[in-house]
Structure 1
C-alpha cells in the first residue's frame, strides 16, 4: 500500500492515542461536571446531556474508523467518517470552550491529530486510487507497482 509523506512509524500511534483519550476523557469530565452545576449559566444553552450525547457520538465515529479503513479496506468511507469526526469534534471543542476553557484546550491536540489523520487517510486513498483491497494490492505487487 502506498503511503503519503510524513507518515509516522507505527509505534507512535499507541502512545499518541493513549494521551489523546486521556485528554478527551478529562475534557468531557470537566465540561459535563461544569454544565451540570446549578450555578452554571450557559450563554449558548448548553446542557450536560447535549455534551454527553455529542461526546458519545464522536466516540462512535472514532470507533467506526478503524474497521472501515483496515477491516473493510474502504478508504473513501473511512475518509467520510473522519471528516464527520473532525466536524463533530470541532463543534464539541467550541462548546467545551464555552463551558470550561481548560476542557476546550484539552481537545485541541485531538483536533490536531484528527487533522493529521485526515491527511493520512486522504493520502493513502489518493495514492492507491481509493482501492486498498487485498486483491488490488496483491495485483499491484505482482506487477511490481507497489512502490
Structure 2
C-alpha cells in the first residue's frame, strides 16, 4: 500500500507543501517560543513520567509529518470539505500557540486549558479525516495519543510549579 497515492495519483508539489507547512512551522515556532526557555524549563519540577528533552523534537517532527500527510490525503480527495480544512488549520494554529503559552510566556495554566481545546480540535479533525479517508484518519491517531500525554504532562508540571 502506498500512502502517498490518492485516487491512484501522487501530486509531489502538493505533498511537499502539506508536509513542509507543519514540519517547518513547528520547527520555527519551537525555536522562537523556546529561545532562552531551555534553562528555565530545566529548573522546573517535572513529573516522573516526563521524557528527556531530546524526545520532544524527534516526536514532534514525526507527528507534524504524519498530520501533513493526512491533510495531503484529504485534500487530494475528489470532494474535500471546508469543515475538515478549517479544523485542520485551527488545530495547527492552536498547536503552534501552545509553545508560546507554555515556554515563552510561562502561562502554564492557560497552556493547559489551550491544550485541552487543542486535543478536542485534533479529535474533531481526525473524525472528519476518517470520514473522507480512512488512512488519513489513522495517521492522526498518534497525534491524539501524544497530545493526550502532553496534556497530562502540562497539567502535572503546572501543578508542581505553582
Written as runs of structure 1 = structure 2, the 5 A alignment for 1:8-23 is: 8-23=51-66
Instruction: Please report how far the alpha carbon of residue 49 of structure 1 lies from its aligned counterpart in structure 2 after TM superposition.
Output: 2.0
Residues matched between the structures, number: 119
Distance 2:122 2:57 in 1: 20
Distance 2:107 2:145 in 1: 23
- Kindly indicate whether residue 94 of structure 2 is the aligned counterpart of residue 61 of structure 1: yes
User: What residue is the counterpart of 2:149 in the other structure?
Assistant: 116
Q: Name structure 1 gaps, 5 residues minimum.
A: 41-46, 130-147
Instruction: Please report how far the alpha carbon of residue 51 of structure 1 lies from its aligned counterpart in structure 2 after TM superposition.
Output: 1.5
Give every structure 1 segment of 4 or more consecutive aligned residues whose post-TM-superposition deviation is greater than 6 Å.
none
**Which digits, 9 at most, give the CA deviation of each residue in 1:14-41, with x for residues without a partner?**
111110000000001111221xx1xx5x
Query: Tell me, what secondary structure is at the counterpart of 1:10?
Result: coil
User: Which structure has the larger Rg over C-alpha atoms?
Assistant: 1
Query: Tell me, what secondary structure is at the counterpart of 2:50?
Result: coil
- Kindly indicate whether residue 125 of structure 2 is the aligned counterpart of residue 125 of structure 1: no
Q: Are the equivalent residues in 2 in contact too, given 1:33–1:48 (CA < 8 A)?
A: no
**Superposition TM-score, scaled by structure 1 size:** 0.78
Written as runs of structure 1 = structure 2, the 5 A alignment for 1:23-38 is: 23-34=66-77, 37=78
Instruction: Please report how far the alpha carbon of residue 48 of structure 1 lies from its aligned counterpart in structure 2 after TM superposition.
Output: 2.4
User: What residue is the counterpart of 1:78 in the other structure?
Assistant: 111
Aligned CA RMSD, in angstroms, stands at 1.0
Distance 1:77 1:61 in 2: 12
**Superposition TM-score, scaled by structure 2 size:** 0.71
